[in-house]
Amino acid sequence: MSETSRSGYIAILGRPNVGKSTLLNGLLGKKISITSPKPQTTRCQVLGIKTQDNVQAVYIDTPGLHKEEKRAINRYMNKLAGTFIHDADIILFVIEALRWTEEDERVLGRLKTVTKPVFLLINKVDKVADKTALLPFIDVLKTKFSFTQIIPISAMQGSNLVALEKQIMAALPEGVHFYPEGEITDKSVRFRIAEIIREKLIYATEQEVPYSSTVTIESFQPGEKQTEISAVIWVERSGQKIIIVGHKGERLKQIGIRARKEIESLLGQKIYLRLWVKVKERWTDDDKALKTLGYE
């Protein structure tokens, strides 16, 4: 007799920069979400789908829930992350080892009415020199909420992810699979290419530029031997455009080189990548502009 089919949605929540996207990639064994050391790298929900025999886990990487909602894009990200709190079958609440902040407390406050399993994941334990310090930290966390599980992990190094996955699989409800076997994400190739370019941009620039920039794919033309891609990097001010382009176009060239290498790996063929930088003033605080740039 065949085993009972299980499936469900698992929302990965937490404040910015605790390692949610790295965790998603680690659980899938593939890079689906872009990552960087800078907060608010993830702006859209990204589904990562993992099917193993009779079990399908659909992980939802969400933008970091944060205190500040000064701009439309911050409100958009907070609202997006919040929509999955009550819809998910399981919640993975990610925090940083030996750190509990006001923003962590705010995330926990939004989980108080949740009736589904909530796993508290203490990430970045590889950075804790004295592991015995984790025990009193965990004791304090136990008093804050009735977590289904409290699991120390290192998403970067993959530590304890196998044990975490076993706990998730056991907690998933019975049900048919949502996606065909072999499908690993709900995001289009165009979306993933735009995100790869944005990741290289984030690493190549400093200060406010990553937070005021986004990427759209203007054209995508597959060919037998080569795919031609045209993309636009949007910023809010002409000064930011100058920074991204760099001296004699050198920074933009390097962004393109690094992006092209990863996009070719994704597509499995050579690509020809054209990059432009354009200004759309105050797009991060304009709801209509957000929609035109794909934030819906």
155 and 224 share a domain? no
Is 181 contained in some domain? no
Could you count the other beta carbons within 10 Å of the beta carbon of residue 112? 7
Contacts of 260 (CB under 8 A, 6+ apart): 271, 273
80 and 153 share a domain? yes
153 and 13 share a domain? yes
Q: Which residues constitute the domain of residue 233?
A: 189-292
Question: Total domain count for the chain?
Answer: 2
Report how far residue 60's alpha carbon sits from residue 109's, in angstroms, rounded to the nearest whole number: 20
Give the domain CATH number at 58: 3.40.50.300
24 and 114 share a domain? yes
Along the 296 residues of the chain, how does pLDDT read in single tens digits? 357 899 999 999 999 999 999 999 999 999 999 999 998 899 999 999 999 999 999 999 999 987 777 899 999 999 988 888 989 999 999 999 999 999 999 999 999 999 999 999 999 999 999 999 999 999 999 999 999 999 999 999 999 999 999 999 999 999 999 999 999 999 999 999 999 999 999 999 987 899 999 999 999 999 999 999 999 999 999 999 999 999 999 999 999 999 999 999 999 999 999 999 999 999 999 999 999 999 98
Task: Please check whether residue 17 is in contact with residue 101, taking contact to mean a CB–CB distance below 8 angstroms.
Answer: no
Global pTM value: 0.94
Residue 184, φ and ψ in degrees, nearest 5:
-115, -15
Could you count the other beta carbons within 10 Å of the beta carbon of residue 148? 15
Is 179 contained in some domain? no
10 and 110 share a domain? yes
199 and 134 share a domain? no
Burial label for 37, CB within 10 Å (0-12, 13-18, 19+), is exposed
